[in-house]
Amino acid sequence: MNHKYNKVIFVCTGNTCRSPMAEVLFKNLQNDSSIEGISRGLVVLFPEPSNPKAETVLKSHNLLLENHIATPLSPDDIDGETLILTMTMSQKLNIMTDYSRQQDVFTLKEFADEEGDVTDPYGGDLIDYENCFAELARLVKKAVIKLYEREH
């Protein structure tokens, strides 16, 4: 598995909270932007902005999620050099089935050598979103380290 990715897609359910936060963290952690980072959702019924609580938490960490609009995952997003990181195992399995993709699809925790799903703070309070951010920050950092170790 020593191949270089040109794109990482973070996937959650609605693309309004977890995956956009992961995208912003990913972009912030890269010093050369050699790998594109985007986020998508599996159930995006209409284009909506990111969750205000997610934006508040990001701003409190001096990160900006500007002009984000929820976007569904599309086959056009994926090529042979795309890594897909989902927030849950069920999302991973859905992508493997719906997009006939058996490789380069992992849960974010799996890719970071951890187990379980990233908790969805939707409907929770600001502390729930802050806890989700802290979890994502740790996992995305581990993922970036792993990606760049493979390149060099």
CATH classification of the domain holding 120: 3.40.50.2300
108 vs 56, 67, 68, 85, CA distance in Å? 23, 24, 21, 5
Residues of the chain with pLDDT > 90, as a percent, come to 80
Q: Residue 31's pLDDT is what? A: 72
Q: List, by residue number, the catalytic residues.
A: 12, 18, 120
Residue 2 domain flag = no
Residue 50 domain flag = yes
Q: Residue 2 — very low, low, confident or very high, per pLDDT cuts 50/70/90?
A: very low
DSSP-based three-state secondary structure for 121? coil
Instruction: Show the domain range for 55.
Output: 7-151
Distance between alpha carbon 136 and the CA centroid of its chain, in Å? 9
Residues of the chain with pLDDT > 70, as a percent, come to 96
Residue 1 domain flag = no
In this predicted model, what pLDDT tens digit does every residue of 50-73 receive, in sequence order?
Answer: 999 999 999 999 999 888 999 999
- Sign of the alpha-carbon torsion through 107, 112, 113, 119: negative
Number of domains in the chain: 1
Model pTM? 0.94
Residue 22 domain flag = yes
In this predicted model, what pLDDT tens digit does every residue of 3-38 receive, in sequence order?
Answer: 589 999 999 999 999 999 999 999 999 877 789 999
